[in-house]
Amino acid sequence: MSVNQIVELLKNHGLKITPQRVEILRFLQNNRIHPTAQQIYEHVLSKVGSVSFTTVYNTLHTLEEMGQIKKISISETTTIYDIDTSDHGHFVCKICGNVYDINYRVTVNAPGKIHRTELIVYGICSQCDDYLQRKS
């Protein structure tokens, strides 16, 4: 979904379109890095110059409720946001902390309708593994 389409969706939900909200959407759409709310806040602050962390957090919460982003807890203290809402998993490197999208298929015999599946794999990415191999 494009930023313009998401902006229209926000309008349709009765939300005011502000430069801060637009920049949050633009950042999520153009930077598929699985950012934290803090990273989004810092980016928007640098671009717009005036934004509260509460505005960023509330906008992310609204986008999640609308089904436009996924909120993913990758540890007890770290939550990331993903604008790609398709079924996919995430690989978290325990060395560099980067988060990568991964494809997977699951066959589930559930006793009801499934709304979301989530897979988080923890390990060492190939770049960190190569570095560790050269270092030893």
Per-residue pLDDT tens digits for 1-48: 677 887 788 888 888 899 999 899 999 989 899 999 999 999 999 999
Model pTM?
A: 0.87
How many C-beta neighbours within 10 Å does residue 75 have?
Answer: 12
pLDDT of amino acid 65? 92
For the chain, the average pLDDT equals 92
Q: How far is CA 135 from CA 25, 89, 92, 131, in A?
A: 40, 30, 22, 6
In degrees, rounded to 5, the angle at the alpha carbon of residue 117 between the alpha carbons of residues 38 and 89 is 60
